[in-house]
């Protein structure tokens, strides 16, 4: 009987595809360490992680069912659902309680506060999540938008143009545009990072999204995935170098020191906020979420009355205490 027990087949792992919003960089480390440390395996999952091409990239992939789970900008998700009523996609785990949307500029080019953008050239990739929120930021800070020259730029040319002085500032994720520009030789003391969340925005940042049809049919898979992510976040906090090493294992050319710094910035500024420390990772504050919808409506005309329940649900979050960071 003992022999028979040991000979029993191991339960098959569920394979699941997860699409990021961007490249394999430091802030994505929690997902890779969750895979390598066995947190996903403990949930019966084998996760294939693929890169994305911008904050708006993952939403249609998940909505069409090409991917069951993805990572995307919350405000962009809200607009997508409003423009595509009934789209089978919803947010299930808030990762960036404080969004990374930022204006990143250079002091030597005259950028130190929001009003300094007036009369300057701002580089903005059209698919960029931070650019999508710029109208709300501008309204909150009283910017004269007509006085700002907006230069559409590609993601590969955004930071080089800032480093070369072709633009005075760019829209982007704080930890991405800042570090990429410094890496090109710009003195960190010359850099200005204006986090939009520090200037009156109640918007949330990036959120894990799911295809609602897949999630309804496989709730235990989604909850297991989210529990694995929470464990990956804890591992990343405890040892950022080891977490980034999980990415480097897939990309030997990775600048690990740079990505450790990028991860540490994301953890400090976006993920491990006071609210998260008190309430755990993944959920949202209902009142703040309603306020964020009001702010989006300042510059975006909803086709239908916004309904928070269409955009986020906590139904799949684990309830066993695994979301608490302390």
Residue 147 has a pLDDT of 98
Give the list of residues 6+ apart from residue 201 with CB closer than 8 angstroms, or none: 99, 101, 133, 136, 137, 140, 292, 295
Share of the chain above pLDDT 90, in %: 86
Asked whether the predicted pLDDT for residue 3 surpasses 50, the reply is no
Asked whether the predicted pLDDT for residue 5 surpasses 90, the reply is no
Residue keyed to tokens 């740079």:
258
Report how far residue 174's alpha carbon sits from residue 168's, in angstroms, rounded to the nearest whole number: 15
Share of the chain above pLDDT 70, in %: 96
User: Helices 155-163 and 174-183, interaxial angle, to 10°?
Assistant: 60
Mean pLDDT, to the nearest integer, of 56-75?
Answer: 95
Choose among 10, 9, 16: nearest CA to 223.
16
Residue 308 has a pLDDT of 97
CA angle 141, 147, 148 (to 5 degrees): 75
Residue 157 has a pLDDT of 97
Which pTM does this prediction carry? Answer: 0.86
Sign of the CA dihedral running 15, 20, 25, 29: negative
C-alpha dist (Å) from residue 287 to 284, 293, 306: 9, 10, 14
Does residue 124 contact residue 169 with C-beta atoms inside 8 Å?
no
**How far is CA 48 from its chain centroid?**
18
pLDDT range class, residue 11, cuts 50, 70, 90 = low
């Amino acid at each position: 009987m003992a022999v028979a027990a040991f000979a029993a087949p191991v339960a098959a792992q569920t394979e699941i595809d997860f699409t990021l919003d961007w490249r394999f960089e430091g802030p994505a480390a929690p997902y890779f360490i969750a895979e390598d440390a066995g947190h996903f395996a403990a949930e019966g999952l084998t996760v294939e992680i693929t890169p994305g091409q911008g904050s708006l990239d993952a939403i249609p992939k998940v909505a069409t069912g090409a991917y069951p789970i993805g990572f995307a900008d919350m405000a962009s998700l809200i607009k997508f659902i409003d423009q595509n009523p009934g789209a089978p996609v919803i947010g299930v785990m808030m990762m960036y309680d404080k969004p990374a949307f930022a204006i990143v500029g250079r002091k030597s080019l005259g950028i130190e506060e929001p009003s300094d953008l007036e009369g300057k050239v701002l580089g903005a990739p059209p698919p960029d999540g931070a650019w999508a929120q710029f109208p709300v930021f501008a309204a909150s800070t009283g910017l004269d938008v007509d006085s700002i020259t907006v230069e559409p730029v590609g993601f590969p040319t955004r930071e080089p143009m800032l480093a070369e002085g072709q633009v005075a500032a760019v829209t982007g994720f704080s930890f991405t545009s800042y570090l990429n520009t410094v890496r090109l030789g710009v003195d960190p003391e010359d850099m200005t990072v204006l986090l939009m969340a520090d200037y009156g925005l109640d918007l949330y940042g990036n959120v894990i999204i799911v295809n609602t049809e897949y999630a309804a049919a496989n709730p235990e898979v989604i909850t297991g995935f989210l529990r694995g992510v929470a464990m990956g976040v804890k591992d990343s906090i405890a040892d950022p170098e080891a977490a980034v090493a999980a990415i480097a294992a897939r990309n030997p050319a990775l600048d690990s020191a740079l990505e450790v710094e990028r991860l540490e910035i994301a953890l400090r500024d976006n993920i491990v906020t006071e609210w998260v420390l008190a309430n755990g990772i993944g959920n949202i504050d209902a009142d703040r979420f309603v306020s964020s919808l009001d702010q989006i409506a300042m510059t975006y005309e909803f086709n239908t009355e916004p309904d928070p329940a269409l955009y986020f649900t906590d139904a799949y979050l684990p309830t066993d205490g695994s979301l608490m960071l302390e």
